[in-house]
A and B are shown apart, each in its own frame.
Chain A
Amino acid sequence: KAGVTQTPRYLIKTRGQQVTLSCSPISGHRSVSWYQQTPGQGLQFLFEYFSETQRNKGNFPGRFSGRQFSNSRSEMNVSTLELGDSALYLCASSLYGQQAPNTEAFFGQGTRLTVV
């Protein structure tokens, strides 16, 4: 079966712009979680969507938002980009999401965002 697909793979944006990233989960998976990964910081949880509802949210400012569509595809939006937003953004899909922790999460290859 197809894996988790994230588009685009690479993105360069200017400070102050906004960006939308896309994640298509594995077919049948209803949960999509988003993470920010920076060197030395590890993965930071952004939010989790399950059946079109945001079920959990990390400690990120309101400039970071997301949504999930009826086909489980998810988008993440960052407005008013800052230099510090440069990172690898990963999404992970799973059948039941984080509230069924023994179900495996599958990660996409990420979108590398560079803000200049």
Chain B
Amino acid sequence: GQNIDQPTEMTATEGAIVQINCTYQTSGFNGLFWYQQHAGEAPTFLSYNVLDGLEEKGRFSSFLSRSKGYSYLLLKELQMKDSASYLCAAMDSNYQLIWGAGTKLIIKP
């Protein structure tokens, strides 16, 4: 079957770095997405990876290893506003997005 695994909850300190991991199993692969969702709000797009490697976008970076079925989202210089859920989603060969349950990130001062 198709499956996405990511930790349920993580805690980090303001100013620090945190890495949120995601492993996936899909029928075919058309890319890996990361979205951020603040409580009570809509998910917002963070990144899309389809090739192996690291994509950097300001304080956020996303990494993909297709051979390992693995991705991570790296958040640097954490700010309180980064407290949110981070959703990992993989697109299968039918262009359907398979979503993880999300990782709730708690930032402490």
Contact = CB atoms under 8 A, between A and B. Distances in A.
A94 to B, nearest CB: 10
A35 B42 CA distance: 12
Given A90-B42, A102-B31, A109-B42, A43 B48 contact: no
A40 B103 CA distance: 10
B69 to A, nearest CB: 17
Contacts of A44: 99
A101 B31 contact: yes
Interface in B57-109: 87, 89, 91, 94-102
Nearest to B89: A43
Contacts of A42: 4, 87, 99-102
B28 to A, nearest CB: 12
A108 interface: yes
Contacts of A101: 30-31, 33, 48, 50, 91, 95
B48 A40 contact: no
A76 B100 CA distance: 23
B19 interface: no
Contacts of B97: 33, 43, 45, 98
A56 interface: yes
Interface of A: 4, 33, 35, 40-45, 56, 58, 90, 97-99, 101-102, 104-110
7 contacts: A35-B99, A41-B101, A42-B87, A42-B102, A44-B99, A97-B95, A98-B95
Closest 8 CB pairs of A and B: A107-B42, A42-B101, A43-B99, A98-B95, A42-B99, A101-B31, A104-B45, A109-B42
Given A43-B89, A107-B43, A110-B42, 17 more contacts: A4-B42, A33-B97, A35-B99, A41-B101, A42-B4, A42-B87, A42-B100, A43-B87, A45-B97, A58-B96, A90-B43, A98-B91, A99-B95, A101-B30, A107-B35, A107-B42, A109-B41
